Amino acid sequence: MGIAAAADYTLAVSSASVKLSELALGIGPFVVGPAVERKIGKSAFAQMSIDYDWYTAKWALEKSLFTEVYENVEELDGAVNALAKKLAEGSLDAMKKLKEIFWEGTDDWDELLENRAEISGKLILSDYSKNYIKNFKSNI
C-alpha cells in the first residue's frame, strides 16, 4: 500500500487489492500515512485506517491510488513496457522538474516520518500489540 501511494503513476491488475491493517495490530498506519493520505485524500485514508478491510482495485482506481487497472497480467505487462518506452524517450530534465512539483510540500517528511515511526515503535510494545502478535503466530 505504501509503495503504491509513494509512486507517481501506479498500474495494477483488476485482481489487486489494498489494505491498511495496522490498527488491528494496535498501532496505526503512521509511517505510510503521509504518502497514502497525500494520494487518496484524508477521508479515504481515514476509512481505510479505521475499518482495515480489503479494498478492490476498482476502489483504489476511484481514489486515485491506482492510475490504471488492467484485466490481466499480460495487459499490465504491455502497459508497463509502453510506459517505460514513453518515459525513456522523454526529457529527463522535464521529468525531474515535474517530480519536484508532484512532491511539493513534502520537504519536512524526513522529520515527519521519524516522528511517526516513533509513535509506531512505542505502540508496538503495548500489551495489546504483543497479544495480537502472539495470537496471530499461534493461528498460522
* Mean per-residue pLDDT pooled into runs of 10, the chain (140 residues): 96 98 95 97 97 97 98 98 97 96 95 96 95 91
CATH code for position 106: 3.90.226.10
Q: What pLDDT does residue 140 have?
A: 85
Q: Look at the block and give the residue holding cell 501511494.
A: 5
Q: Is residue 99 part of a domain?
A: yes
Q: Is residue 80 part of a domain?
A: no
Domain housing 58: 2-71+91-138
Q: Is residue 28 part of a domain?
A: yes
Q: Is residue 85 part of a domain?
A: no
Number of domains in the chain: 1
The three-class DSSP label of residue 88 is: helix
| Closest to 83 (Cα-Cα) out of 71, 93, 95 | 95
Q: Is residue 82 part of a domain?
A: no
Q: Is residue 111 part of a domain?
A: yes
Q: Is residue 45 part of a domain?
A: yes
Q: Are 48 and 4 in contact (CB under 8 A)?
A: no
C-alpha cell at 26: 494496535
In terms of DSSP bridges, do strands 55-56 and 11-13 run parallel, antiparallel, or are they unpaired?
unpaired
Q: What pLDDT does residue 94 have?
A: 97
Q: What pLDDT does residue 50 have?
A: 97
Q: Is residue 103 part of a domain?
A: yes
Amino acid at 60: A
